[in-house]
Amino acid sequence: MNTHSAQPFTIGLVQISIPADPAESLAKAEEYVRQAARLGAQVVCLPELFRGPYFCQHENHDVFNQAEAIPGPSTETLGKVAAEEGVVVLASLFERRGPGVYHNTLAVIDADGTIPGLYRKMHIPDDPGYYEKFFFAPGDTGFKAFDTRFGRVGTLVCWDQWYPEAARLTALQGAMTLFYPTAIGWHPEEKAEFGREQLEAWITVQRGHAVANGIYVAAVNRIGHEISADGGPGIEFWGNSFVAGPMGEILAQASSNREEILLAEVNPTRLETVRRHWPFFRDRRIDAYGGITSRFLDQT
């Protein structure tokens, strides 16, 4: 896409708490997408795995029953909303691809209700409270950008947000915005000691992706303290959804504990101007990066 000739568009990030009932969560998402559209959003992004509480706190085989096909019930409902409101919807879902094969998948639903493509989360964490490797096969789509009615968008998911390689490869495909639907928060017993530095690291690394790629970055998180049915201290999701511009400037940021719809404009002319003056893409040494595909470079 020629970004210099593209038109500005408005993105909307939906930061919400997530109901326990999947039907209620889908209805809530539908209502918030409609609200965002009526506030002027043209591309609306929901939080990661918005169909219910974050289930990866414990390994539980029964949870696989929550997965759905794509296309499926969620994309059908949101596709109707997208078409009725004339908005693009980015929906993170627990995909059942086939027997025993599941993914953490971001469906891109265009403003006519069609699905131009899927992105399957590439980086899968395995940490206390985030046992995603038990549930999700690694993505095999590669890093993706999609043309929508309003602009070309890059789709990444949560743990992907820590990896500069993911941001770079998506930006190189002509995306004007990197979207990161997210479910991230504090372990309550760690919050007092480590909470601020964890949150600031999360924001800082993504602002860095915006600067390094001259691109808009949009991260949308959930809020609320969710305790798994299997027990434990739970996770206190820290909200703080935000949009950064191509110099890393914060254009909009939400609170840590309130439901909010964030709006921000993506301006392709601004992106073009920043890249002309900070020409990181021009000066990349593509002849010298072979080592990036190694797990580790032996120091001999």
DSSP 114-170: ---EEEE-----EETTEEHHHH-PPP-S-SEEEE-SS-EEEE--GGGGG-HHHHHHH
For each of the domains in the chain, give its residue range(s) and CATH number, in order of start.
9-278 (3.60.110.10)
User: How far apart are the C-alpha atoms of 287 and 196, rounded to whole Å?
Assistant: 39
User: How far apart are the C-alpha atoms of 17 and 54, rounded to whole Å?
Assistant: 11
Closest CA to 135 of 22, 187, 57: 57
User: With contact defined as beta carbons under 8 Å apart, do 239 and 15 qualify?
Assistant: yes
* Peptide bond connecting 71 to the previous residue in cis, omega within 30 degrees of 0: yes
- pTM confidence score: 0.95
Closest CA to 224 of 4, 16, 11: 16
- Exposed, middle or buried: residue 12 (CB in 10 Å: 0-12, 13-18, 19+)? buried
Type and span of the H or E element at 264: strand 260-266
- Residue 294: the pLDDT is 92
Q: Tell me the two tokens of residue 5.
A: 């000739």
List of residues 6+ apart from 128 with CB closer than 8 A: 187
Measured distance between the N- and C-terminal CA atoms of the chain, rounded to whole angstroms: 44
- Residues lower than pLDDT 70 in the chain: 1-5, 300
Q: What angle do CA 287, 288, 290 make, to 5 degrees?
A: 100
Catalytic positions, written as ranges: 48, 121, 158
Task: Tokens 């073009």: give the residue.
Answer: 272
- Residue 98: the pLDDT is 96
- Residue 1: the pLDDT is 55
- Residue 292: the pLDDT is 92
- Residue 232: the pLDDT is 84
List of residues 6+ apart from 164 with CB closer than 8 A: 208, 209, 212
Bridge pairing between strands 117-120 and 101-109: antiparallel
User: How far apart are the C-alpha atoms of 86 and 250, rounded to whole Å?
Assistant: 27
- Residue 3: the pLDDT is 61
Answer left, alpha or beta for residue 214, where phi above 0 means left and psi between -120 and 50 means alpha: left
pLDDT tens for 240-273 read 999 999 999 999 999 999 999 999 999 999 999 9
